[in-house]
Amino acid sequence: MDENRERYRTTVVEPFRVLLDRLAPAAQKLNPGFVISGRTGDNFSRINRDIRFARDKTPYRPQMYLYFGEPGGEGGQLYVGVSAEAVTSGFRIYGGEKTSPLIQIGRARGLENCKWIARQSRRLAKKYESYWYSMEKGEWTKHGGWPVDPENWKKLGAWVVRRKFASAAASREGFEGEIAKVFRDVYPLLPFTGSPKWKP
């Protein structure tokens, strides 16, 4: 890493900061409460992996994320992820602690509003991939598709709805406009899964 630190700064960190500046107005138009600090943890993922409890002991991550969420960091996020293989963008929320918005608010709301989720599926499924996770025997288990069955929401611990682009998409003109449209499309999922103020 020491040998490549300057390369990492010029080819990853600085372009991501430019992308943050370009996407921030569109993100804040959707939600003025989004954090726009430009800090790692608030808007950027860390390159260092936490290998203490991970099976994969690789010290650095092969992808970088830019995300927008409300203060606290436990609710849903709109994000862009870039790796050598692909670019993805969309919505994600992870339950984590029992006090997280997904566990406290989202699960009950999902149980009661499966028709609303089905409408979002019909609206987005042609362009967006959906998958969710549950904890099965102490392991995160991935499930493909939209969690439209109430039984899904009794155990849902994370949910991702994303659009996948070719890796070259990140360097083409107008990329931030494409991502802003993704944000507009998937934004309704964010308040649904964690905001007390959500209304159908």
The CATH number of residue 178's host domain is 3.30.930.20
144 lies in some domain = yes
Q: Which domain holds residue 96?
A: 2-194
Q: What is the DSSP letter of 100?
A: S
156 lies in some domain = yes
pLDDT score, position 110: 95
The 3-state DSSP class for residue 109 equals: helix
Number of domains in the chain: 1
- CB within 8 Å of 139: residues ≥ 6 apart: none
- State pLDDT tens for residues 12-54: 889 999 999 999 999 999 999 999 999 988 899 888 877 676 6
User: Residue 141 phi/psi, 5° resolution?
Assistant: -120, 125
176 lies in some domain = yes
CA end-to-end span of the chain, whole Å? 48
Count of other CB atoms within 10 angstroms of residue 170: 20
199 lies in some domain = no
| 191 has pLDDT over 90 | yes
The 3-state DSSP class for residue 172 equals: coil
- CB within 8 Å of 15: residues ≥ 6 apart: none
pLDDT score, position 59: 80
What is the Cα–Cα distance from 17 to 12, expressed in whole angstroms?
Answer: 9
What pTM does this model have?
Answer: 0.91
pLDDT score, position 74: 82
200 lies in some domain = no
**DSSP readout, 173-196?**
TTHHHHHHHHHHHHTTHHHHHH-T
- State pLDDT tens for residues 122-179: 999 999 999 999 988 888 899 999 999 999 999 999 999 999 999 889 888 999 999 9
pLDDT score, position 53: 64
109 lies in some domain = yes
